[in-house]
Amino acid sequence: MFNFLKQRGIHCGHLNVCHIINKLDELKELIRNFDIFGFSETHLNASVNDEYISIPGFHAPFCKDGCSNSSSGTLLYVRDTLNCIRRNNLEHPDIESIWLEIKLKNTTLIFLCCVYRNPASRCNWLENFKQMIELPWNSGSEIIMFGDLNIDILNHNNCYWLDVLDLYNLKQIITSPTRVTSHSSTLFDYVIVSSPNNIIETSVPSYSISDHYPTCFTWNKKGIKIPKTNHIYITYRSFKYFSEPDYINDLQLAPFDNVYSTNDPNKALELWYNTIIPVINKHAPQKTKRVRNATKQPWLKEIFNMMRQRDYHKKKGNITQV
């Protein structure tokens, strides 16, 4: 279902997810088809355990939690076969971003950035962006940036933003609208690169888990050996020592009253997850094991069929909101 990219190389993507917790199970299936995937507007915070959002076969997720009205939460997954480190020194204090340094054999460093710009950002955001890009640009390394910038470049009045990119010889390579409603088509979600020849395909699939479409692309370079995924892992819950009476007793003792203390449905859902997941983990802990073939469970088939119908009707304009 998620074979959005066809060419061989490093498969990358980004999605403005509009809250990630209630969509995490489906998104984990999506991410397994990519080597690098970033999310903006996750609305995660420090109360969400990294273990809960981790995916076998990937590095521990790189996070920037939402902490204010201008910071909505950014998340970045990288397959564990890729050698990468976080470069906190490249992250501007007034720009929501995650910078990584990726090292491949027989090539220069790649600086990769997942970035989000709040539409309510002040007018000095572009000046801050220029300051942020100076160090990676002056290094001579390849730059790859993706994210939701909330500047519609299909609107010719916003050409000044492309002029800023031209100053640093950067190219925005997405051309299809990434947010489509019944009355508008906008391109807010970018892929910005310093070496466009290394991007061998792009895709903006009509995948409708969010009110944005994902931006996907494949990076490859002649003479570079792309690391292979060595093993397939699956995650499951172990019921070996499960005791139903003990589980029910712990559920009754769990502080679910805090769920009813908020009128915000997203906050209530987050509180519910944070209350029930520790109990579930105690009695049916998650285990990871290596398998020869990772086959989807039979019960997922019907769900994926419904997801295809959802995406089809969103593309046809039969539904305009998610």
CATH of the domain at 42: 3.60.10.10
Tokens 């069929």 label which residue? 305
Q: Do 148 and 109 contact (CB within 8 A), yes or no?
A: no
The candidate with the shortest Cα–Cα distance to 6, out of 202, 247, 252, 194, is 202
What three-state secondary structure class fits 27? helix
Is this prediction's pTM over 0.75? Answer: yes
pLDDT recorded at residue 69: 52
Give me 243's structure tokens.
């005791």
Q: Tell me whether strands 96-103 and 110-116 are parallel, antiparallel or unpaired.
A: antiparallel
What three-state secondary structure class fits 155? coil
Is the residue at 161 inside a domain?
yes
pLDDT recorded at residue 320: 52
- For residue 104, what is the DSSP state? -
Q: What does each of the 322 residues of the chain score in pLDDT, given as a tens digit?
A: 678 999 999 999 999 998 898 888 888 888 988 999 999 999 888 778 888 898 888 999 999 976 555 558 999 999 999 999 999 999 999 999 999 999 998 887 899 999 999 988 888 999 999 999 999 999 999 999 999 999 998 887 777 888 899 999 999 999 999 998 878 899 999 999 999 999 999 999 988 788 899 999 999 998 888 887 656 667 788 999 999 999 999 999 999 998 888 888 888 888 898 899 999 999 999 887 776 655 555 556 677 777 777 777 766 666 654 4
Q: Do 107 and 219 contact (CB within 8 A), yes or no?
A: no
The number of folded domains in the chain is 1
* Cα distances (angstroms) measured from residue 166 to each of 44, 201, 206, 244: 34, 22, 29, 62
Is the residue at 65 inside a domain?
yes
Residue 280: which H helix or E strand, with range?
helix 265-283
Is the residue at 162 inside a domain?
yes
Is the residue at 287 inside a domain?
no
Is the residue at 229 inside a domain?
no
Is the residue at 267 inside a domain?
no
Identity at 316, one-letter amino acid code: K
Q: Do 74 and 63 contact (CB within 8 A), yes or no?
A: yes
The candidate with the shortest Cα–Cα distance to 209, out of 81, 28, 85, 49, is 28
Determine the Cα–Cα distance for residues 138 and 312; give it in Å rounded to an integer: 44
Determine the Cα–Cα distance for residues 83 and 64; give it in Å rounded to an integer: 20
Is the residue at 189 inside a domain?
yes
Range of the domain at 207: 11-219
Beta bridge partners of 147: 115, 190
Beta-strand runs (E) in 21-178: 36-40, 62-64, 74-78, 83-86, 96-103, 110-116, 142-148, 171-172
Q: Do 164 and 192 contact (CB within 8 A), yes or no?
A: no
pLDDT recorded at residue 294: 55
Please, is 270 exposed, middle or buried when counting C-beta atoms within 10 Å of its C-beta (0-12, 13-18, 19+)?
buried
Instruction: Give, in degrees to the nearest 5, the angle at Cα 114 between 110 and 119.
Output: 145
Beta bridge partners of 110: 102, 142
Is the residue at 261 inside a domain?
no
- For residue 43, what is the DSSP state? -
The crossing angle, in degrees rounded to 10, of helices 265-283 and 244-253 is 150
Q: Please state, as a whole number, how many other Cβ atoms lie within 10 Å of the Cβ of residue 263.
A: 7
